[in-house]
Amino acid sequence: MTKSSSVTKSKSSGGPQSDDGKKIALRNSLKTGAYSKLVVLPNESQQEFDQLVEQFQRDFYPKDAVEMMLVREMAVITWKKLRSKSWSTTTARASWQRKLLWKSFFPLTLCLQI
């Protein structure tokens, strides 16, 4: 590939250009939500997140804008950690269900496993 063709190709693949395309691309990292710019995912409750932030504010008494920002950041990290635990629990449960289903159809595999 020549330099000019790689430059041309990179210019044409610079991501979405339209507002709708950018909104769609914003949701690309929503599988687990760990790296999403959105704090509250579409399937989560904004009200529950707001309650968490309010609880942190009551617990930590932020005195100024910097402390308020730090308290909110702690709430965001806690929210994402709770999401992660929920996601991994759900994933583990699904994995066990698949294994149990497999073993119910093929009970001899229990004897053959090393």
Encode pLDDT of 57-105 as tens digits: 999 999 999 999 999 999 999 998 888 877 666 666 666 666 665 555 5
Cα–Cα distance between 11 and 7 in angstroms, integer? 6
Comparing 8-17, 64-73, 103-112, the range with the smallest average pLDDT is 103-112
Percentage of the chain modeled with pLDDT above 70 = 53
pLDDT tier, 23 (very low <50, low <70, confident <90, very high otherwise): confident
Cα–Cα distance between 112 and 114 in angstroms, integer? 6
Distances (CA, A) of 64 to 61, 78, 101: 9, 21, 55
**Single-letter amino acid code for the residue at 23:** K
Cα–Cα distance between 68 and 57 in angstroms, integer? 8
Q: In 3D, which of 45, 43, 72 has the Cα closest to residue 57?
A: 72
Report the sign of the C-alpha dihedral through residues 27, 72, 74, 90, in that order: negative
Comparison of pLDDT for 113 and 34, the residue scoring more: 34
pTM higher than the cut 0.85: no
